Amino acid sequence: MKGLLKKGAALLMAAALTMGFAACQTDEPAPPAAPQAPAETVTLRVWASQDDQDITKSLVDAFIAANPDKQYDIQLGVVGEPDAAARYLEDPTAAADVFAFPNDQLYTLTNAGALYEVTLNKDAIIAANVAGAIESASVGDALYAYPMTADNGYFLYYDKSVISEEQVQTLDGILEACNAAGKQFLMDISNGWYVASFFLGAGGSLELTEDGAQLCDFNNETGVKVGEAIFALCGDEAYLDGDDAVLQGGMGDTIAAGVSGTWNAASMEEKLGENYAATKLPTFTLDGEQVQMSSFGGYKLIGVNSQTKFPLDAMALAEWLTNEESQLTRYEVRQLGPSNINAASSDAVLANLPLAALSLQSQFASSQTNVLGGYWTPAEAFGQAMVNQDTSQTIPEFLDMMVEQITLQ
C-alpha cells in the first residue's frame, strides 16, 4: 500500500512539473523571426535633353509613385536627342538604360546592337500611336523604340481670305485660287524632303534591303506619271520654288499658300493675322484621279539600352514616359506634337492650328528611317530640273538617272 501511495505521489509530482514547465514556455516571449532580405533596388539611368529635364523628372517621380511595390533609384543625365547615338557608341556600358533619340538614328543604334527589342505590351504600344511613328521605331516586324513625339513634318499654311476650305483640299483648287488673286503657292520642290511627297503619295517606295541597301522605285510607270505632274506644277504661273526665308518674306503678300512645318508657325500667324490657317497637304491630279500627297514624318523616340540590368523595369519606364498622359504633358509644357493617337486628337492639340494640321497629315506620312544619305542629292537634282523646266532629257530619263544614283551601291 505504501509503495502504491509513493508511486502515485511521484506521478502527480511529475505531472505538476510538466504543467509548470509548459506554463513557463507559454509565458516566455517567442524568439525573434529570421530577418527578411531587403527588396532589391532597381537602379536606372535616363538621358534627356536639357530642355526636357524638368518634364522628365516629374514623369519619373510619377512613375516611382505609381509603383510603390518596387524600390527604384532613377537618375537623370543631360544628353540631347541628336547626340544620343554618338554618346552611346562612345561607351555602351556607360550609356543610360533609357534614352531619347530622333528616328533617323534607329538603324545606327540597331546595327550596333544598342536597343533592347520591345516585348512588354508591344501590341498596345503599336495600337496607341500613329502608323508612321511605329514604322519609324521598327525594323521589319520588330519594335525597337517607343514613339514620343510626331512634330517634325510638314503640311500646308494658307491665307483663308484667298483660298477657301474647299479649294485648299486639292492642288488644282489652290492654284486656281492663287491665279485668280495674282498670288503664289510655294513648295520647295528642289528639296528632296518635299519632292518625295508626290511619289510617296502615289505609292512609291523608299525601302532598305535586308543588307541595308537603298531601294527606290520612283522611275516605274506610276513614277513617270508623277514626274509629269510635278513638271506641270512647276510650269504653272502660280507656282513658286523657295525655302523658309522666301515663305516668311512673302506670306500674306505675294504668297497665299506654302508648305512648311511647325517651326514657322509664329511667323505665319504674324504674317496672316485673322486669315491664318493650316491643314494637311492637298491631293494632286494623277492620271485623272485625285491622289493624297504624302510627307516625311520626323519622330522622337525613346529606347532601352540592350545592356540594361533591368530590362522589364526599363521597358515599363520607357512606356510610361511615352504614354498618352506623358505626351499631353509634353504638349502642355513645350508644345511638342504627340504621336499618341488619343493625345493628338485631344481638344488642346486640335486647338493648335499647326499641330492639328500636322496631326491630319500624319495619317499620310512616311518614316524617314528607311532613307539613306545617298537619296538627297539625286532627289534635289531631279527637283531642280523640274523647277527649271529642263527639257534636255525626258521625264523617264531624269527619273532613271535619279533612281540609279539613289540606289548606287
**Span 287-317, pLDDT tens digits:** 999 999 999 988 999 999 999 999 999 999 9
Residue 12, domain member (yes or no): no
Q: Report whether pLDDT(385) > 70.
A: yes
Pair 324, 340: CB distance under 8 Å: yes
Residue 33, domain member (yes or no): no
CA distance 148 to 322: 5
Could you tell me if 161 and 80 lie in one domain?
no
Q: Which of 116, 40, 46 is nearest to 74 (CA)?
A: 46
pLDDT-based confidence at residue 383 (cuts at 50, 70, 90) = very high
Pair 81, 101: CB distance under 8 Å: yes
Q: How many domains does the chain have?
A: 2
**How high is the pLDDT of residue 397?**
98
pLDDT-based confidence at residue 26 (cuts at 50, 70, 90) = very low
CATH of residue 183: 3.40.190.10
Q: Which long-range contacts (CB under 8 A, 24 or more apart) does 313-317 make?
A: 313/42, 313/44, 313/70, 313/72, 314/44, 314/97, 314/98, 314/116, 315/116, 315/118, 315/119, 315/120, 316/63, 316/67, 316/120, 317/44, 317/46, 317/60, 317/63, 317/74, 317/97, 317/98
Residue 18, domain member (yes or no): no
Integer angstrom CA distances of residue 82 from 74, 121, 184:
22, 27, 35
Residue 308, domain member (yes or no): yes
Could you tell me if 228 and 373 lie in one domain?
yes
Could you tell me if 284 and 354 lie in one domain?
no
Centroid of chain to Cα 127:
14
Q: Report whether pLDDT(261) > 90.
A: yes
pLDDT-based confidence at residue 373 (cuts at 50, 70, 90) = confident
Residue 382, domain member (yes or no): yes
pLDDT-based confidence at residue 362 (cuts at 50, 70, 90) = confident
pLDDT-based confidence at residue 28 (cuts at 50, 70, 90) = low
Residue 29, domain member (yes or no): no
Could you tell me if 269 and 333 lie in one domain?
no
Integer angstrom CA distances of residue 275 from 161, 169, 260:
6, 17, 17
Could you tell me if 373 and 230 lie in one domain?
yes
Could you tell me if 108 and 236 lie in one domain?
no
Could you tell me if 349 and 383 lie in one domain?
no
Could you tell me if 211 and 118 lie in one domain?
no
Could you tell me if 207 and 59 lie in one domain?
no
pLDDT tens for residues 81-102? 999 999 999 999 999 999 999 9
CA distance 154 to 263: 10
**How high is the pLDDT of residue 316?**
98
CA distance 380 to 66: 50
184-194 as b/e: b if 16+ CB within 10 A: bbbbbbbbbbb
Q: Which of 190, 191, 195, 153 is nearest to 299 (CA)?
A: 153
Could you tell me if 287 and 325 lie in one domain?
no
pLDDT tens for residues 162-173? 999 999 999 999
Residues of the domain holding 257: 155-296+368-406
pLDDT-based confidence at residue 327 (cuts at 50, 70, 90) = very high
**How high is the pLDDT of residue 211?**
82
**How high is the pLDDT of residue 369?**
82
CA distance 111 to 44: 24
Could you tell me if 170 and 183 lie in one domain?
yes
Angle at 316 between CA 314 and CA 317, to 5 degrees: 65
If one counts every other C-beta atom within 10 angstroms of the C-beta of residue 35, the result is: 6
Could you tell me if 188 and 246 lie in one domain?
yes
Q: Which of 324, 337, 350 is nearest to 298 (CA)?
A: 337
Pair 255, 275: CB distance under 8 Å: no
Q: Which of 49, 132, 140, 79 is nearest to 298 (CA)?
A: 132
Cell of 18: 510538466
Q: Which of 190, 179, 175 is nearest to 389 (CA)?
A: 190
- Percent of the chain scoring above 90 in pLDDT: 80
pLDDT-based confidence at residue 3 (cuts at 50, 70, 90) = very low
Q: Report whether pLDDT(35) > 60.
A: no
Residue 27, domain member (yes or no): no
Cell of 291: 491622289
Residue 24, domain member (yes or no): no
